[in-house]
Amino acid sequence: MDTLTGPAEVIQTSAIALDKLDYDAWLACFTEECSYEITTHQNEVNHWPCGLMHAFSKNQLRDRIASITTVNIYEPHRYRHILSQSHQSKDSLNSIWITGFSVYRITLGKPTILFVTGEYRDQFKFEHSGVTILSRQIVLDNDQIDTLLAIPL
Amino acid sequence: MDTLTGPAEVIQTSAIALDKLDYDAWLACFTEECSYEITTHQNEVNHWPCGLMHAFSKNQLRDRIASITTVNIYEPHRYRHILSQSHQSKDSLNSIWITGFSVYRITLGKPTILFVTGEYRDQFKFEHSGVTILSRQIVLDNDQIDTLLAIPL
Amino acid sequence: MDTLTGPAEVIQTSAIALDKLDYDAWLACFTEECSYEITTHQNEVNHWPCGLMHAFSKNQLRDRIASITTVNIYEPHRYRHILSQSHQSKDSLNSIWITGFSVYRITLGKPTILFVTGEYRDQFKFEHSGVTILSRQIVLDNDQIDTLLAIPL
């Protein structure tokens, strides 16, 4: 595992790791005390809680990965992330990196479909040993989410 | 509003501003004497005028924004821009930044659809106070444009 | 033709050249002793040979271009490449640049369709005269490829 030395590199690596189903490489993008949440634009606008997926530590992300790699009750599939250019927001005290994305779902023997669009809102932890994700909030554009949200985004 | 210090930053900011329906942030990306035009590849190849949208000053862009924020005759929707990597063309006297994009349209209670694909061709004004768009030509790939082109791209 | 001075610039230029049907600009992105291959994820996983397209020198790419520009047996169409952020992999002796992409196919009078998704895996040759592609492997996500793969990706 290489040391990741910048936010852009971490964002790219996390997406490509999922596309390769390389969950170890994905987990390596997060710091131990990280938070990770998937919600929707409508949830956010209406101040509804109820994210589609959330974890409040890297161990919870590990549990999630363990469950999807050991219990295969869903049809095997992969993602393809297309990341728009990242944008560093300086509105707040903490820098947030916003990255729009589209994710396609690839299933053997079926047409590729547009799965979701949305944006990452990432905050990072900068250490001599490298850069890792401290907080990732994922806001999906559409409320009509396929129930098949097994693999993280 | 932050000062934007480079073309890539302005391109990203203009797209993310529209996706958030933050029209002030979008307008801030343009200089006062800007031009803005949306046309199609077929129009361009055939040297047909008739862009789908055009403005020859920032005030005309302000008028456009005023009309869509006060007269809501269309179904409320949002965009999600996915920007390809930008490419700086050095063919001409003036540098043109070309950025391919796909734009999805998100409507509450409906599936997200691919709205348009095309490219930005941007020229910039560089000042001590920041970088702004001097000229944006948007060339859409497909002639079959939905009539619902209300929000700028 | 400008000299391309970095891998990212070459990746962008090669995609935009194809989108403009500017095959000379596309060919200029490759070195003479290049290799170019299109395969699928399933082919790769199963160690099957049989790429969808391959060339083992720039002259073979020139032949390919000559055939598509002189023999028009297919319906005229263009592409729109949307490139995700590139990621430089340092796993091996040689740096490989991985770039996810989606490609849309645009045909006059028809709706734009998502044609393929996949990734470039590029190796470069660095010379004083500029940077060129030494090896490009294209791995498509889906096996269900349209037979109409005439233009390189």
Do the Cβ atoms of A87 and A63 come closer than 8 Å? Answer: no
- Domain contains B101: yes
Three-class secondary structure assignment of chain B = CCCCCCHHHHHHHHHHHHHCCCHHHHHCCEEEEEEEEEEEHHHHHCCCCCCCEEECCHHHHHHHHHHHHHCCCCCCCEEEEEEEEEEEECCCCCCEEEEEEEEEEECCCCCCEEEEEEEEEEEEEEECCEEEEEEEEEEECCCCCCCCCCCCC
Residue A148 within any structural domain of the chain: no
Question: Is the Cβ pair A111, C142 closer than 8 Å?
Answer: yes
Q: Residue A146 domain-assigned?
A: no
Whether C75 maps to a domain, the answer reads yes
How many angstroms separate the CA atoms of B81 and B101, rounded? 7
Mutate to test the interface with B, among A87, A101, A121 (most CBs of B within 10 A): A87
**What domain range includes position C81?**
7-140
Contact B84 C86 (CB under 8 A): no
Q: Is residue B151, in this structure, part of any structural domain at all? A: no
Residues of A in contact with C98 (CB under 8 A): 16
The alpha carbon dihedral of C79, C135, A83, A18 has a sign of: positive
**A6 contact C CB<8A:** no
> Is position A59 within any domain?
yes
Tell me the pLDDT of chain C (153 aa) as tens digits: 456 678 999 999 999 999 999 999 999 999 999 999 999 999 998 988 767 889 999 999 999 999 888 766 667 889 999 999 888 887 666 799 999 999 999 998 899 999 999 999 999 999 988 999 999 999 999 987 766 788 899
| Chain B residues 49-68 with a CB less than 8 Å from chain A | none
Q: Is B145 within the bounds of a domain?
A: no
- CATH number for the domain spanning A25: value is 3.10.450.50
Query: What ipTM does the predicted assembly reach?
Result: 0.87
Domain count, chain A: 1
Using a CB-CB distance cutoff of 8 angstroms, which residues of chain B are in contact with residue C11? 85
CB contact under 8 A, A86 and B110: no
Pick from A80, A101, A105, A110 the residue to mutate for testing the C interface (most C CBs within 10 Å): A80
C147, part of any domain: no
Contact A12 C86 (CB under 8 A): yes
Q: ∠ CA A22-A24-A27 to the nearest 5 degrees?
A: 115
